Amino acid sequence: MAWGTATRIGIGMVCFALVGALFGAAPRDPAVFGGRESKPPVAPPYPTEPGYRSADAEMHSLGAALADIDGDGFKDLVVANGNDLSWRPVTVYRNDGRGGFPSEPSWSSEDEDYHTGIAVGDIDLDGFVDVAVTVGPWRDAATSGYAKVYFNRGGTLERTPSFYTADEFSSVGAALGDYDGDGDLDLAVAVAFEGKVEPGRVRIYANDGGTLSEAPAWRSDASMHALTPKFADIDGDGFLDLLVAARGLPVYRGTLDEGGNVKLETSESWKARVERGIPLFVDVGKIGGRRGIVTFYNDHYKDFVPPDELAQARPPTVPRAYVGNLYPSPPPPESCAGGIGSDSRLMAYWPFSSADPIWTSDTSGWGAGVRLADVNGDGALDLLASRWGPQFYGYGAPLVIFLGTSRAFDTTPAWSSSTCGVGEAIAVADLDRSALVETVESFMIEKPQAGLTLSAQLVEDILEVRRDGALLGRGAYVVVPGDNWISFARRLSPGEQIRVRYTHSPAPDITLASTMGSNYVFYHHAR
């Protein structure tokens, strides 16, 4: 089974828990990830009401990530608060070791700002997860945005960041990845505005042995209104590419230059045809047997993006009880609304194959978060999506799940939450670690490359990596919590064999950040 320039020569699995008790059957062999058995798909097992709600309903959360901050082996919830609405701190909710979180934050930053995006990973190579945060004030704010890093000091985040970017901009999201193939995490930042309303260039701040540059080492050639970036090996050649949530979903390809150095192209190698707005979040995974991209378009931003760049949204239908922004008869808290006021859709693409979508949802609405995960244990990736309700009428929207098929996904959701909010980032992990599966994959390298992509979409822990039998230590490779790629400090050469032992889970829990109201966790099984 080939994947990029490496051949997967073996795969094995050991169950850490009685996974069959969760599904009524044993889990699928991981060697058939992305396929589907002929039996009817299993419905998502999540209760429609969240099993956890944060108490801080006025934090205006946007970015969220799951990572083990304190080093106890359980993933904590890290949240960027404020959005473009108010100054708020970054917060961490510590996992209690049973998958639960306190209603109030376990840690809060001393500084407050218009926090938007979160990216987590070991930036300074000390073995602890650091937190990068973007700041995105609205276009008429008196302040400018930037990116910053809270470094982890032995299991506790510093209260004030010790790294700031030197340049200023308004940003909604960041991503960590090894863009230059040297075995450390570089910081990519998507720029929504540069100045007040002008588009900006996507930028990357290079990491040199654990130290980030304050000035960008890489910029995209084109300026754009970009929302969030994502590192992944999209074309399967063994080099990380950069996908940007912006008009056209531009993909910047990682390659080797003439001198054998890893580089990221500054001009896009692929763009999609956009018909339904601009995307806020993106994800990458195996869709219908090949690497694909998913996003949920949003046409709310047509007031600052040129009209010819966005489809015209239908005017909203005003609920009878409302007049403009007045609330004479406000709806109950967490009330749900359909896709009022928007014709945006979820779409999936096969990059480098076609610029047209291979799948479009029947569901409309102002799109926000997307996440690919196999939530029902059938081996096919399912699509989790959040959106905004027309909040100026007091409504929210549900979290929804589209089941994966042999081609892509069902066009209507198989599951919707009964609790609604102004949904933003989605993060998934096995929070109580009760259903972990240990897998071993071996790869034979066929061409020079910088990294590998594992079969499991959501990786819980990398237990060990061996290169021609030798166990690799810290600094020899780098990963990002939850992602399934590994980047090596020294280039992989033809003839080398890589063996990776890691855990993943067929029972992921779902966390959802919400700009209006609480943040939620939907547990895979009843607590």
Helix residue ranges, H only, 110-266 = none
pLDDT band for 365, please (50, 70, 90 cuts): confident
Residues of the chain with CATH 2.130.10.10: 52-319+328-432+506-522
- Give residue 3's pLDDT: 41
Query: pLDDT digit string (tens) for 132-189?
Result: 999 987 655 556 899 999 999 999 999 999 999 999 999 999 999 999 999 999 999 9
In this prediction, what percent of the chain has a pLDDT beyond 70?
81
Look up the pTM and report it: 0.89
> Does the structure show a pLDDT above 60 at 10?
no
DSSP 371-407: EEE--SSSSSPEEEEEEE--GGGT-BEEEEEEPB-SS
Query: pLDDT digit string (tens) for 485-523?
Result: 999 999 999 999 999 999 999 999 999 999 888 999 999
Hey, which residues does 298 pair with through a beta bridge?
278
Do the Cβ atoms of 242 and 263 come closer than 8 Å? Answer: no
| CB contact set of 520 (below 8 Å; sequence gap of 6+) | 50, 52, 53, 54, 399, 417, 419, 421, 511, 512, 514
Hey, which residues does 487 pair with through a beta bridge?
451, 478
- Give residue 195's pLDDT: 78
CA angle (221 as vertex; 219, 225 as ends), nearest 5: 80
Query: pLDDT digit string (tens) for 40-78?
Result: 668 899 999 999 999 977 899 999 999 999 999 999 999
187-204 burial code (b ≥16 CB/10 A, e <16):
bbbbbbbbeeeebbbbbb
Do the Cβ atoms of 320 and 268 come closer than 8 Å? Answer: no
CA distance 229 to 117: 10
Which listed CATH number (3.40.140.10, 2.130.10.10, 3.30.43.10, 2.40.40.20) goes with 52-319+328-432+506-522?
Answer: 2.130.10.10
Query: pLDDT digit string (tens) for 409-466?
Result: 999 999 999 988 888 999 999 999 999 999 999 999 999 999 999 999 999 999 999 9
* Token output for 206: 């290079």
Do the Cβ atoms of 389 and 424 come closer than 8 Å? Answer: no
Query: pLDDT digit string (tens) for 239-290?
Result: 999 999 999 999 999 999 988 899 999 999 999 987 678 899 999 999 999 9
